[in-house]
Structure 1
Amino acid sequence: MLEHSLDTEHGVLHLSPQGRLTADDFKSVAEQIDPFIEENGCLNGLMISADRFPGWSDFSTMVEHFRFVRDHHRKIRRVAIVSDDDVLSALPHIASHFIAAEVEHFGTAQRSEAANWLNAVTAG
């Protein structure tokens, strides 16, 4: 399950995986953000908060995840990964080769700093 909420004031999507991801998770997120992106052109930010990457429920979900990233990465300005997990902390370096957004890692105790970094896009 992928909990998600959209802060329409700042144009920031908040994601928090709560177990293995499913294809329906990505469809649900797209249904929420696509109208916002259509109206505003992009999301200013995406905050992913996770203790660890939970994995996918099956291979088709992994494919759906990659498709979601392909379809949306040019429409998101910044991504903040909030986690103390070693694998997730390495993600910004890896992601920088594949996505257009600026990606930064923040430790769990730095959640407010991550929010400030994402919200600064609206001011800039």
Structure 2
Amino acid sequence: MISVQPIGDRGLYEVRVSGVVTDIDYEQMLMPALDQAIEDHDRIRVLVIFDADFEDFTLGAMLDDARMGLRHWRGFDRLAIVSQRPWIRRAASGLGVMLPCPVRVFPLEETDDARRWLTESLGAIHQTDLGDGVLHLQLRGQLDSSIYAEETEDLNAFIRANDRFRLLIDARDFDGWQGMAALFEHLKVVREHYRLIDRAAIVGNSGWQRLGEKVLGRLSGAKTRFFKADAIEQAKDWIKS
């Protein structure tokens, strides 16, 4: 049996799975509910709870599960899976590698933690106009695709006011992307604006961030430099010079 309930009105949904799940449960309950949810919200966050009395999937349900994953590939923003069954937790962890959204697996006693994880902010982007066409971009924590959606309009407004600009990327507290969808959104933003950059500085701690500076320089043709984390003030002086 499968039941689907919205949690508030922010695109959060709770799916409870119990007993034996058949293809009828997928076709008559889960798929229509998710179709409607994604139509209403574009991207959704889903909590899937396998109750203690869950027994198994039928073969038809497993095939429907695979079809559903392909059908809603880009519709999930975040997915939390709660179960005590080791095989479900292993399968869910493997699913997280393939899906473009963040996926976390929780034991049944941590259901409340799973709910909190779905709603909490995992990362942030802070934009500061330093004047004279210089944008200070601070990346913090682990970014998901919704963060980019929230910040795009501010970035576009800055670019409309500056035909060309200089970019200071502060990645000292940046821990990467939550899922492939967030990485794709990042690459989309870079692709749309990199030709407008005259100069760029990246401040960070990691070798891959240093590599990012070189890639950005090659893509944009702009003058770029990498600064270590303790050299943020030197980076600001250089980007303004």
Q: What TM bracket, shorter-length normalisation? A: 0.7 to 0.9
Q: Structure 2 unaligned runs (5+)?
A: 1-122
Instruction: Quote the Cα distance in structure 2 between the aligned partners of 1:111 and 1:51.
Output: 9
* 2:226 paired residue among 105, 118, 123: 105
* 1:91 paired residue among 190, 212, 226: 212
- With over 3 angstroms needed to count, the CA separation of the structure-2 counterparts of 1:36 and 1:110, relative to structure 1, is same
* TM-score, structure 1 normalization: 0.80
Instruction: Quote the Cα distance in structure 1 between the aligned partners of 2:201 and 2:132.
Output: 14
Q: Is contact 1:2–1:15 with CA below 8 Å preserved after alignment?
A: no
1:77 aligns with 2:225: no
Q: Structure 1 unaligned runs (5+)?
A: none
Q: Which residue of 2 aligns with 1:17?
A: 139
* 1:46 paired residue among 167, 172, 190: 167
Q: Which has the higher contact order (CA 8 A, sep 6+)?
A: 1
Instruction: Quote the Cα distance in structure 2 between the aligned partners of 1:99 and 1:62.
Output: 19
Q: Aligned with 1:63: secondary structure?
A: helix
Count of aligned pairs between the two proteins: 119
Provide Cα deviations, 1:23-73, integer angstroms capped at 9, x if missing partner: 222233321121222132122x22122236522212211111111000011
Q: Is contact 2:130–2:136 with CA below 8 Å preserved after alignment?
A: no
Instruction: Quote the Cα distance in structure 1 between the aligned partners of 2:196 and 2:146.
Output: 21
* TM-score, structure 2 normalization: 0.44
Q: Which residue of 1 aligns with 2:240?
A: 119
- With over 3 angstroms needed to count, the CA separation of the structure-2 counterparts of 1:52 and 1:64, relative to structure 1, is same
Amino acid at match of 2:168: M
Percent identical: 29
Amino acid at match of 2:217: S
1:27 aligns with 2:149: yes
Q: Is contact 1:22–1:61 with CA below 8 Å preserved after alignment?
A: yes
Instruction: Quote the Cα distance in structure 2 between the aligned partners of 1:49 and 1:36.
Output: 17
